[in-house]
Amino acid sequence: MTQSPPAGFDLTDMAWPPPPYQSPVPPVTGADGVRHFDGITYATTPGYRPRLLDVQLPPGEGPFPAVVWIHGGGWLEGDRRYPPPTVPAALLHGAVLGAGLALVSIDYRHSLEAPFPAQLHDVKAAIRYVRAFAVELGIDPDRIGVWGESAGGHLAALAGLVGPGSPDGAALEGTHGVGSGDTGVLAVVDWYGVSDLPALADHPMPPMPGGAEFPDPYEALLGGTAAERPALARAASPVTYAEGSNPPPFLLVHGTRDGLVPYSQSQALARALDSAGGQVTLRPVDGADHIFLGSPDIDLIVTESVTFLATHLGKST
């Protein structure tokens, strides 16, 4: 038995194929005055989960400068809603909003869903989406920065350095979601991200707790080893793009005893940015391991990172 469509439903409004993104719906305002846009679909690809982002706006009148937060997880796991376990979400989110900045938290395809450059394509798509819907989202499209940790720090660095004029720039920009538009950013905070994949070829992965099996994150990202895919390994390395990039200001924060991503990775990126004439601050966290394990003052690290972003993105108008 064929059922009639619901009242008010017009078949002529349907489109096929479905759109590659969804428009924002009105936000929900919390008791603290923070406005939330939750679970916006910023890009779709048949056969993959939709890519989602959340937007939080501080109380008051915008448009607000925006920080795009990119989660870590070895490109294999992670969730836009959760910072690393050493950094409470309330601390990170509250610091951003308290500085008068909007927070845009994004998901992206994991490496066993799609290898590089899918992850960078998604970050670029999210930035294009925020700019395309800046009015609806209450965001200043001319004041966007990126901040990521671990795998997200790597992607934040690439987002700050890769543009249409970069080597293979058009291919790295991608056309997902809002298919074209400016993806440039004004500032980058990179917490303990990878910068030079070929240099990590001989770095041993630390054992997983309890002997749990875990795919090699670099092989999963590249779809093979760096030796097997040297061109792709170079293309996935932020140091490749520093020269001639006119980079935005960078803050690199990295534990000096990081056993997963060596501190030397941030040192290499700092040297490359400095050689390119960029403004770069390298902040060692003495004695800290990955995700700042062992650091006695996570609050200070968060505060320094937010202050850097607020300084370079400017006050809200």
Q: By the 8 A CB rule, do 68 and 144 touch? A: yes
pTM: 0.93
Number of other CB atoms surrounding residue 142 within 10 Å: 14
- Cα separation, 229 vs 129, in Å, equals 31
- Cα separation, 295 vs 298, in Å, equals 7
Look at residue 16 in the predicted model and tell me its pLDDT: 73
To the nearest whole percent, how much of the chain has pLDDT over 70?
Answer: 92
- Cα separation, 23 vs 54, in Å, equals 13
DSSP 8-state code for residue 112: T
Geometric angle at alpha carbon 40, from 304 and 150, rounded to 5°: 35
| Residue ranges for the chain with pLDDT beneath 70 | 1-15, 206-212, 315-317
Look at residue 194 in the predicted model and tell me its pLDDT: 98
Look at residue 317 in the predicted model and tell me its pLDDT: 40
- Cα separation, 144 vs 188, in Å, equals 10
* Nearest alpha carbon to residue 276 among 253, 313, 301, 245: 245
